Chains A and B, each alone.
Chain A
Amino acid sequence: SQQGEEDPQALSIQEGENATMNCSYKTSINNLQWYRQNSGRGLVHLILIRSNEREKHSGRLRVTLDTSKKSSSLLITASRAADTASYFCATDAASGTYKYIFGTGTRLKVLA
């Protein structure tokens, strides 16, 4: 089955730096979503980007989508200690199966 795979698996940065994580997937999609998970908690939706969009912003978040390369990136600018979490991308199947497939996630640690 298709799967989003995040890269890197783990990332450690200093507060104030930017964090970039990438997601690759295998088949055509309708849209791609990014979620955040704080340790031991449920996931929180961050942003959704549709297949006909190339870039989307939400506060300090910037998401890009390159459907030709089947990849997306999530940029967090001016990171804070509170951004420490795992970040997952989730992709749907373009055929409309009502299923979302999650990647294995990027563990981000922001050092104060």
Chain B
Amino acid sequence: NAGVTQTPKFQVLKTGQSMTLQCAQDMNHEYMSWYRQDPGMGLRLIHYSVGAGITDQGEVPNGYNVSRSTTEDFPLRLLSAAPSQTSVYFCASSYSSATDEQFFGPGTRLTVL
């Protein structure tokens, strides 16, 4: 199993550009989530999904969109990048819900100029 994979590893954007961060898992997990981690901070939940076709907002959803068309994939879209979105983004998955152990991807380091 590859576990949770994220692409790209690094990305630099200009203010106003849009992009999609990819996340995939091969463990047949129902629950997937996106977090952002700013320097010296913990993780803040952006969006999460409890299964294909079902998504919901976390603590900091503004400026981000998600969709879950398959169990495996959970892409995160930045609609119009802003410098405040400079961060490290982590995708995670767990078997059935957030109450199970979460498996994290390696992260995407995003810089918005």
Residues of A whose CB lies within 8 Å of any CB of B are 1, 3-4, 30-31, 33, 35, 40-45, 48, 88, 90, 92, 98-105
Contacts and interface: CB of A to CB of B under 8 A. Distances in A.
B104 A44 contact: yes
Contacts of B33: 100
B107 interface: yes
Interface in B38-71: 40-45, 48, 50, 56, 58-59
B88 to A, nearest CB: 8
Given A42-B107, A43-B104, A92-B98, A101 B59 contact: yes
Given A42-B107, A44-B104, A45-B103, A98 B98 contact: yes
Interface of B: 4, 31, 33, 35, 40-45, 48, 50, 56, 58-59, 90, 92, 97-99, 101-107
Contacts of B105: 42
**In the A-B complex, the 8 residue pairs with the closest CB atoms:** A42-B104, A102-B42, A102-B43, A45-B101, A104-B42, A43-B104, A100-B98, A98-B98
Nearest to A50: B99
25 contacts: A1-B59, A3-B42, A30-B99, A31-B99, A41-B107, A42-B4, A43-B90, A43-B104, A45-B101, A48-B101, A88-B42, A92-B98, A92-B99, A98-B50, A98-B97, A98-B98, A99-B45, A99-B98, A100-B45, A100-B102, A102-B35, A102-B44, A104-B42, A105-B41, A105-B42
